Amino acid sequence: MREKIVAGNWKMNKNRTEAKALVSELLKEFKHKPAPGVTVVVAPPMPFTGEVVDQTAGTSVQVGAQNCHQSESGAYTGEVAAEMLKSIGVQYVILGHSERRTYYGETDAFVAAKIDRALEHDLVPIYCCGELLEERKAGRHFEVIEAQLKAALYHLHPTEMAKVVIAYEPVWAIGTGETATPEQAQEVHAFIRQKIADQYGRELAEGCAILYGGSCKPSNAQSLFLQPDVDGGLIGGASLKAADFAAIAHSF
């Protein structure tokens, strides 16, 4: 049975006091109503990551980072290395998010190198892929996603690929309030799983967790998670409210 994952990407939100309060609320939510069989991950802003690791120690909540650099170390002002994240207890790292691609010009080659660094330091990459609105309208979404998978993942050895989590994020649904229908999400998730099977074999593909990211919220989470190839969600705005995030985690 594939792992079910609900990961909260806080993006650039919350100050230190607010971050600590949100984690406290989340821990109360999951203490009283644990989400059986679901891995819960929170990815706070970088300055608070270490504190959140400490705050969640000994609980079922795991901690991710929102990014890491593609180099091992060096003169990269303002960046953070995978080894640094691992050294403070981070377990997951979100890579290839559309906002990183759009605002910071991250290419597939950059993302592939970041995945390599993450795996070298035993971090679980949550690799994001997905199409723009114009690509969807032009019927090119499968072509775009296949190219992203090939560029970022196909160089990995099967033992490495088995550790990667994939997040399908239709860019047109991120922060817009628009959401892919459950049928649209399932269609793309099934396509991604088939491409992984073509490259690495059916057994590995069947064990690969593929998350949906794109305006997932309590009102639509269950219908999305009922799809056979949707294994959870990479949650943005709804992860900033403990009750909403917990409700999503309990939607399986």
What's the sign of the alpha-carbon dihedral 87, 90, 92, 94? negative
121 catalytically annotated: no
- The single residue of 69, 97, 141, 250 carrying the catalytic annotation is 97
Position 44 pLDDT exceeds 90: yes
pLDDT, position 2:
93
End-to-end Cα distance, the chain: 14
Q: Name the CATH code of domain 4-12+41-70+78-249 (choices 3.40.50.2000, 3.40.190.10, 3.20.20.70, 2.40.50.140).
A: 3.20.20.70
Distance of CA 118 to the CA centre of its chain: 14
Is 69 a catalytic site residue?
A: no
pTM: 0.97
What does the alpha-carbon distance between residue 185 and residue 195 come to, in Å, rounded to a whole number? 15
Higher pLDDT, 32 or 144: 144
pLDDT digits (tens, 9 = 90+) for 72-129: 999 999 999 999 999 999 999 999 999 999 999 999 999 999 999 999 999 999 999 9
Catalytic residue of the set 131, 169, 189, 250: 169
Q: Return the percentage of the chain with pLDDT > 70, whole number.
A: 100
| 180 vs 193 pLDDT, higher one | 193
Residue 175 has pLDDT above 80, yes or no: no
- Token pair for 38: 């679901």
Q: Tokens 């660094």 — which residue?
A: 117
What confidence tens digit (pLDDT) does each residue in 138-148 have?
Answer: 999 999 999 99
Q: At what angle do helices 242-249 and 16-32 cross, to 10 degrees?
A: 40
pLDDT at 63: 98
- pLDDT for 34 equals 83
- Residue whose C-alpha is closest to residue 170's, from 140, 133, 224: 133
Mean pLDDT, residues 35-47: 96
* Confidence label for 178 from pLDDT (cuts 50, 70 and 90): confident
When pLDDT is averaged across residues 157-162 and rounded to a whole number, the result is 98
At residue 233, what are phi and psi to the nearest 5 degrees?
A: -145, 150
- Strands in 121-231 per DSSP E: 124-129, 165-168, 210-212
CA distances from 229 to 165, 194, 211, 225 (A): 13, 10, 9, 8
| Closest to 69 measured CA to CA, from 116, 105, 102, 108 | 116
Helix (H), strand (E) at residue 143: helix 141-153
Dihedrals φ, ψ of 167, to 5°? -120, 115
Q: What is the pLDDT of residue 151?
A: 97
What pLDDT was estimated at residue 104?
Answer: 96
